[in-house]
Structure 1
């Protein structure tokens, strides 16, 4: 049964990633991977918030954790895409953009996870 929750959550997360990434690219262009950056930061916040909230505030069926944290966030997050895009920027000699993207993603993702944990623990 857990596999079904992961699969459905992953499908929804993947479609959400596709839609959010496309929406951001249409508005801000594709010279810089804004979509992946936004997706990774929001995924960090979502998983931080959800797991803190689920562990500290409410008693949820374990299948919800599989659905949200493993399925949805796993399908929504784009860490492998983040790595690829960052390395490609560096390979294209876009050292400043590549460095800002890689370092900025890690810092912003960390801050977002801390914010999600804090909010999930507080709510």
Structure 2
């Protein structure tokens, strides 16, 4: 039960910050490129790398802190399901090159951000 509370609180905080990220980046004219989702995913990937690197380095992987930060906060903040939906929308609009670019850049930046997060905590 205690773990559920940590996941829930972390998820609520992550979701609120994701919403605020969306509001902030919506103001920028990016054409059809879903910048807010891209930024949230990149930040979320960096944070999960930092959090897991820190937790692993300090033998805290099986703690409530992991459930709060990784499962809760990062799970609430990142938006991979939205990423998938936005790609489908781009494909339905026959914007194939933009969908491919968005997918490749998102995956590359996400993996690089996780690597950097892990690297920063070494």
TM normalised by structure 2 equals 0.92
Q: 2:118 is matched with which residue?
A: 117
Partner Cα separation in structure 1 for residue 81 and residue 61 of structure 2:
30
1:73-119 Cα deviation digits (max 9, x unpaired)? 00001000001101210110111111110111011100000001101
Q: Which moved more, 1:61-70 or 1:26-35?
A: 26-35
- 1: CA distance, partners of 2:31 / 2:59: 40
Question: Which residue does the alignment assign to 1:48?
Answer: 49
- Is the helix fraction higher in 1 or 2? 1
Report the count of equivalent residues: 121
Contact 2:49 2:115 in 1 (8 A): yes
Q: Which blocks of at least 5 consecutive residues in structure 2 are unaligned?
A: none
**What is the match of residue 89 of structure 2?**
88
1:16-27 correspondence runs (5 A): 16-27=17-28
2:72 match: 71
Report the Cα distance in structure 2 between the residues aligned to 1:83 and 1:59, rounded to whole angstroms.
32
Structure 1 unaligned residues grouped into runs of 5+: none
**TM-score normalised according to structure 1 size:** 0.92
| Residues 24, 34 of structure 1: 8 Å contact kept | yes
